[in-house]
């Protein structure tokens, strides 16, 4: 029903910025809450940020507060994650996710996932 494709990852130095993009297909995109998650090798997939279907509310993991900003453009069917002041600990595969009334930090609330985009931060 909803297909998601992430882009914008890459290799950067600590302190640099990246903007991740997630392009969605599906007529009901604007109905879904959206989230960003990340997963490092050998680690659990962890919550990064979430945004309500309307874009009126956002929620961040403690690790992301003050550095990352989630936003969406429903007209373009896209969601973004602006990442500033990147740290080596931010290195992971970043996933875009969508869910019906899924707003929150739990992966269980999101039924649709992108393929992921790699972010590597070197010191």
DSSP assignment of 1-64 equals: --EEEEE--EEEETT--EEEEEEEESTTGGGSEEEEEEE-TTS--EEEEEE-TTSS-EEE-TTT
Token pair, residue 57, equals: 């509310």
Dump pLDDT digits (tens) for 22-32.
999 987 888 89
Residue with tokens 């999101």: 110
Read off the pLDDT band of 73 (50, 70, 90): very high
If residue 121 lies in a helix (H) or strand (E), which one and from where to where?
strand 117-122
Residue with tokens 């602006």: 82
Per-residue pLDDT at 86 exceeds 90:
yes
Can you give the pLDDT at residue 1? 81
């Amino acid at each position: 029903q909803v297909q998601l494709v992430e882009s914008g990852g890459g290799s950067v130095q600590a302190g640099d910025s990246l903007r991740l993009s997630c392009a969605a297909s599906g007529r009901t995109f604007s109905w879904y809450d959206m989230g960003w998650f990340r997963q490092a090798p050998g680690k659990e997939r962890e919550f990064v940020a979430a945004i309500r279907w309307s874009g009126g509310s956002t929620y961040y993991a403690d690790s992301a507060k003050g550095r990352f900003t989630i936003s969406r453009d429903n007209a373009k069917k896209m969601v973004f994650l602006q990442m500033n002041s990147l740290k080596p600990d931010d290195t992971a595969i970043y996933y875009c996710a969508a869910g019906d009334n899924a707003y929150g930090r739990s992966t269980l609330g999101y039924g649709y996932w992108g393929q992921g985009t790699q972010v590597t931060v070197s010191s």
